[in-house]
Amino acid sequence: MNGIIQNRRSIRKYQAGKPVTKEQLTQLLEAAMMAPSACNSRPWEFIAVTKREILDEIARIHPYAKMAEQASAAIIVVALPQEGTASGYFPQDCGAATQNILLEAVSMGLGTCWCGVYPTPEPMASIRKLFNIPESKIPFNVIVVGVPDETPAARGFFDASKVSYVE
């Protein structure tokens, strides 16, 4: 296994004021758009945020994204449920894109926290309103991004009892 997967942890403390550059955000989004998707439908869009007031507003309206107050960026993954011929797969496609961002961030020395939005109605409504996302699209999650101010230990939850081998 490569160290990037092992070293990914949710980061909830960030070095305030340490910027995340537009180039870094673009690199993360290139990684996102390399994710597999059903029938290659790529049912996603991304909103990259570095505006301080908006990051603070995310922290205010999302009860579990308070760490956005210290972080320097966030990426909102927006799902396009009608895109392509395999529309029911959008949560898997957007999840794969999200995980690519999380892992690419580790390789860049950045920290992230995946903050769930879809399918919980309240954060969906408040994030939709904040970014003026139309009803045809779905606010899928908020990925908080920043320079970490904590280093949680690598860990794993490998559980052999959850695996069956067919040999």
Ligand X SMILES: Cc1cc2nc3c(=O)[nH]c(=O)nc-3n(C[C@H](O)[C@H](O)[C@H](O)COP(=O)(O)O)c2cc1C
Residues near ligand X, by CB under 6 A: 9-10, 12, 64-65, 113-116, 152
Q: How far is the CB of 161 from ligand X (least distance, A)?
A: 19
Q: Which is nearer to ligand X, 115 or 138 (CB)?
A: 115
The candidate with the shortest Cα–Cα distance to 22, out of 30, 33, 14, is 30
Q: Which is nearer to ligand X, 19 or 63 (CB)?
A: 63
Q: How far apart are CA 167 and CA 62, in angstroms?
A: 46
Q: How far is the CB of 163 from ligand X (least distance, A)?
A: 19
Asked if residue 46 lies in contact with residue 29, where contact means CB atoms within 8 angstroms, the answer is yes
Q: Looking at beta carbons, which residue is closest to ligand X?
A: 116
Q: How far is the CB of 141 from ligand X (least distance, A)?
A: 7
Q: Which is nearer to ligand X, 4 or 165 (CB)?
A: 4
